[in-house]
Each structure stands twice: as structure tokens, then as C-alpha cells.
Amino acid sequence: MSRLDDYKEVAPKGSIDFLKRLADKIEGKGILHINSTKLGGGVAEILRSLVPLLEDVGLKARWEVISGNEEFFSATKGFHNALQGQEQRISPGMLRTYQEVNRGNAQSLSFDSDFVIIHDPQPAALIDYRSSKSKWIWRCHIDISRPQWKVWNFLRQFVVKYDAAIFSLPRFAQRLPIPQFLIYPSIDPLSDKNRDLSAAEQEEILSRLNISTDKPILLQVSRFDRFKDPLGVIQAYRLVKRHHDVQLVLAGGGATDDPEGEVVLSEVREAARDDPDIRILLLPPDAHMEINALQRAATIVLQKSLREGFGLTVAEAMWKGKPVIGGFVGGITVQLVYGVTGFTVNSVEGAAFRIHYLLDNSEIMAKMGEDAREYVRRNFLITRHLGDYLALMNFFGN
């Protein structure tokens, strides 16, 4: 029995057999994924599950990570922020570093595969070293609908050389002369991050993290990044705290391709100072079971992002039957069906209002959690995601 069959228990009925049919005509084809970090952030999270499943359905799947120095990652973080609309100064030196590091990586990586999927802007310039026999696809996970144009125009010169681009939301797509596809990201229900935990496992982890469940827990799991608005979460918690004795847990860590985390973390520490009911947990990037246990222990999960690609943490919490309150941005808007599978909000006050509302209405909270889990089952599991990739490969011929 392949690993894929294990998903029959959790995926919608019939979907696993259908995946096998989708894979039939492309059996033995090679698919190579390239991104910029093995650990931390949503892309690595997905690839860790997706790549073995692509193997399981009979493809030759590989995952490579580009290497880069600090200068490179601080340049690409600048691009990332600028592409998501933040004002950034991008110097000609940064553009040069970007291209040089990509050139170096092209020399050490083998692109020998039928499909090469390049994730996000960091490795996008590898396209300059493509061979014509592979199909190259740029998979963009971020919101580039309102970019700083200078940076987008720079990146665009690489993107147009691809055979296709994939975006996470229709709104994220740009005017491009290449075919564009829409693929929602997904979570793996059987990974350590999302699988069921026994009561003993759950208890052991929470006691190790020194988290008590005496008071309702508001939780946000995120890299310490301004777009995730951890300071806004603290403000919302403070408004709620006037009426409800809750605690706030902010759990996060860094990603190896995100050098800004330290600064944001110290701002968060400063804002939380002197409040024993705010817990800031700095977790290593492989703390999957810890995040799983925290999401299960939470009463309400927040993802108050100001910009978001997709927001996997939302689907993760929904899968655990939790009501989620998220910023009305990016992929959060397709996961949280307002008032049914969660609430989207546009302000600190809005978040506080919805937290109050749910704390005062425990039956609504429970029902919302149930609906949230069902919605994830139908739309955001890794099995659906795998099917989308198989369909795309079929599209390009077999």
C-alpha cells in the first residue's frame, strides 16, 4: 500500500483513485521543485509533503534548494516586501547580487527533469540557464497584485521566459504573455503538523512549552514579520482582556531566507513586556508537533495579516476544528467564509470585536470549527493540490 492510500481516511471520497488516474499518462516523468529554504515558511511546508507524494504516484520527483549569502537573502527579502507593495529601496548592487547568486546556483544544480517548478522570486532568475527540453513553470506564492513597479519590472523580465506561471489567487495574477494557472496551496493532514495527537502527546508538549490551559488561549502562529501584524494582535488582545480573562500565545520562528525576524521579534517583546498572560514562543523551524499541539489547545486562532500569500496557518487551525479570525487579505479571504468557517477583519477593533463575539457564543464557535474542518477537507488538502499539479503536467502533454 502506498503512502497515498493512507489519505483515503481523510480526503474526500474517491479522490485518491482519481489521483491515480490523473497520474497514469505522465508516469515516469521528472518534476523538479526549486525554492530557497528547506525549513520555515509555507513553501517548504508544502514541498516536504508534496514531493514524496509525487514519487508515490509514479513520477520522478526532486526538491532542490538554492544557496545564498546574507546579502542575497536581504536583497530578496527587499524584493519580497516591494512585490507585496511595501516601499523599499532596491539598489543596483542588490539586483547584481541577485543575478550573480542565481548564476552560481545554476552552475551547481542539475535541471535535468521534464518539469522544473521554480518557487517565488528568489530562484526565478535560474530561467536564464534553462534547456529547451524541460517545461519551466514559475510558482508565485506571494501577493504581487500591487507591487512596487520597478521591482516587478525587473522580475518580470525573467518571468516571461517561463512556459507558465502559477498564482495562489486570481487577483494575484499579473498581465503576462504566458499561460497562468490558479492553484490554491494546501496542508498535509497526516504530517506531524496536522495529524491527530493523543491526549498524552498533547499534554506532554504543552507542559514542556509551559502552556497552561486554565485560561482561554488566543493563538497566532507566524514568522515574526510585519506583514503578519503581531503588534496588532497584541493590541486586539488588550481590548479583549478588558472583558475576558484570556491569554495570548504568539508562536513563531524564523525562516532561513528571512533576515528581518530579529527586529520584529524585539518590537513584539517590547510591546508584550510586563504582561504575564502574553507568551512569546520562539520555536525552532522543525517544531511541527509543538505547533500542532498549540493549535489544538487554542480557543480561537488569529492570523491578523496585513498582506498574505495564502496563509497556511489558517487552514492548519481550521483543520483542527478551530474558529479563525484573520485579516481580510490574500488567501485568508478564500479560506474564511465570513461567519461560516471564520471571520475576516480589517482592523484591530474588528479582530477584538469578533474575539469577544466568539468567546460569548461557545456553540457558534464549535459549529464554526466543524464547518471549517469540512471546508479544508474539500478544498485545501495536499491531495487536491497534488491533483492540480498532475492536471497541469497533463496539460503540457505526455
Give me the residues that bind ligand UDP (CB under 6 A), please: 41-42, 45, 193, 221-223, 252-253, 283, 285, 291, 309-313, 316
Round to whole Å and give the CA distance between 250 and 254. 13
60-65 vs 300-303, strand pairing mode = unpaired
Those residues with Cβ within 8 angstroms of residue 352's Cβ, 6 or more apart along the chain or in another chain: 236, 237, 239, 240
Beta carbons of 316 and 193 less than 8 angstroms apart = yes
Q: Enter the DSSP assignment of 127.
A: G
Q: Residue 283 CB, nearest distance to ligand UDP (Å)?
A: 5
**3-state class (DSSP) for residue 276:** coil
CB closest to ligand UDP, residue no: 42
Round to whole Å and give the CA distance between 156 and 161. 9
> Which C-beta is closer to ligand UDP: that of 135 or that of 223?
223
Q: Enter the DSSP assignment of 248.
A: E
> Which C-beta is closer to ligand UDP: that of 311 or that of 387?
311
> Which C-beta is closer to ligand UDP: that of 178 or that of 289?
289
**3-state class (DSSP) for residue 300:** strand
CA nearest neighbour of 230 among 289, 186, 183, 270: 270
Q: Residue 309 CB, nearest distance to ligand UDP (Å)?
A: 6
> Which C-beta is closer to ligand UDP: that of 228 or that of 241?
228
Q: Residue 308 CB, nearest distance to ligand UDP (Å)?
A: 7
Q: Residue 103 CB, nearest distance to ligand UDP (Å)?
A: 26
> Which C-beta is closer to ligand UDP: that of 19 or that of 281?
281
Q: Residue 134 CB, nearest distance to ligand UDP (Å)?
A: 26
> Which C-beta is closer to ligand UDP: that of 15 or that of 186?
186
Beta carbons of 348 and 231 less than 8 angstroms apart = no
Q: Residue 34 CB, nearest distance to ligand UDP (Å)?
A: 17
Q: Which three cell numbers stand for residue 170?
A: 486570481
